Amino acid sequence: MTSAISLANVEVGQELPPLTMTFTRAGLVAYAQASGDMNPIHQDEEVAKSVGLPDVIAHGMLTMGRAIKVVTDWVADPACVIDYSVRMTRPVVVPDTAAGVEVVFGGKVAAINDDGTIRIDLTATFDEQTVLGQARAIVRLG
Amino acid sequence: MNREMIGFAYPPSDTLLVTKERIAQFARAIGDDNPIYFDDDAAKSAGHPTVCAPPTFPMVITMAAMEKSFHDPALNMDYSRVVHSDQRFEYARPIRVGDQLVVTTIIEDIRSLGSNDIATFRTEVAADGEHVVTGWSKLVVRGDDA
């Protein structure tokens, strides 16, 4: 792996550049096709509402997949990520509009471990509320 | 759910051959244009033999493997009431073009929280016998009064 960042330039508390990404219905269809997760609550408003959701919601795994871009953009090489975990605490509700909705992703260096790996804590904010909890990546720079 | 299934390992999945097209489709769907997901030369200059897949790509194969077990009558799991609450991946290396992936699904834990069951599925992904990534998926099965 070849990271764009070296450990000497990393300090605890350092913020990674945030990213804003748009979630649209068409985007959910594309993710369903790419991932094979065809659950209709991610595509069909009637089905979503019938199970008590306010509207169609994004795949939690799509939100997880987008959040890590904060880290992989920073290090350049995605192989630097050796562990990645999230809790999906709240859904991203996606209305049937061309503009869709925006989710803001952020990351911060939470720890530099004894083995030289670093822990990045990630945030995902939609509608002023957090949608991922305990989202963290362990990164080995090299 | 049937707690006697804790520790049970399902037989290995069918093999999935990872293609460049599959990785590109996935990367585009998550909105990530990192050249290592698309371009062999970019991957090689980062020290990889070929194009690599994004960190959450393993779910493409682990979800399908887990879904088979969801319908196992012995597990007694009501799939219509399942919510995916947590996901973790631990990587030995990235998945790459040309990998012939096989997944083994293990019921790692089942516990109760109120009327809900919380099941942890561990998925071990190997390419030609080489361990590549382990996934942990925590699923909440909502109880009758939830």
Which residues, in sequence order, are CB contacts of A12 under 8 Å at separation 6+? A109, A110, A111, A112
- In this predicted structure, the answer to whether residue B141 has a pLDDT above a threshold of 50 is yes
Structure confidence at residue A3 (pLDDT): 85
Q: What is the ipTM, given to two decimal places?
A: 0.96
Measured between CB atoms, does B42 come within 8 Å of chain A?
no
Q: Mean pLDDT over residues B113-117, rounded?
A: 92
pTM: 0.96
CB distance A120 to A72 below 8 Å: no
CB distance B70 to B78 below 8 Å: no
Out of A35-39, A73-77, B104-108, which region has the weakest mean confidence (pLDDT)? Answer: A35-39
Measured between CB atoms, does B100 come within 8 Å of chain A?
no
Closest C-alpha to A66, from A36, A27, A100 = A27
Spatial separation of the C-alpha atoms in residues A61 and A22, rounded to whole Å: 15
Architecture of the domain made up of A7-22+59-139: Roll (3.10)
**Positive or negative: CA dihedral A106, A108, A110, A114:** positive
- CB B59 to CB A30 under 8 A? no
Q: Which residue of A has its CA nearest to B43?
A: A77
Structure confidence at residue B123 (pLDDT): 98
What does each C-alpha distance from B106 to A61, A141, B89, B132 come to in angstroms?
20, 31, 15, 16
R_g of chain A computed on alpha carbons: 16
- CB B29 to CB A87 under 8 A? no
The average confidence (pLDDT) of chain A is 95
Helices (H), chain B: 20-29, 40-45, 59-70
Out of A4-8, B42-46, B90-94, which region has the weakest mean confidence (pLDDT)? Answer: A4-8
* Local confidence band at B145 (pLDDT 50, 70, 90 cut-offs): low
- In this predicted structure, the answer to whether residue B80 has a pLDDT above a threshold of 90 is no
Domains of chain B by start residue, with CATH: 3-18+54-141 (3.10.129.10)
CA distance A67 to chain B (A): 9
Structure confidence at residue B146 (pLDDT): 45
What does each C-alpha distance from A115 to A6, A137, A140, B29, B132 come to in angstroms?
14, 15, 9, 34, 21
CB distance B69 to B105 below 8 Å: yes
Structure confidence at residue A87 (pLDDT): 98
Structure confidence at residue A18 (pLDDT): 98
Q: How many CA atoms lie within 13 A of A101 on its CB side?
A: 19
Q: Which residues of A touch B86 (CB under 8 A)?
A: 85-88, 134
Partner residue facing A30 (CB), from B29, B34, B46: B29
Structure confidence at residue A4 (pLDDT): 84
Domains of chain A, by residue range, sit at: 7-22+59-139
pLDDT digits (tens, 9 = 90+) for A88-130: 999 999 999 999 999 999 999 999 999 999 999 999 999 999 9
- Count CB-CB contacts under 10 A for residue A36: 13
pLDDT digits (tens, 9 = 90+) for B35-44: 999 999 999 9
Q: Mean pLDDT over residues B25-41, rounded?
A: 98
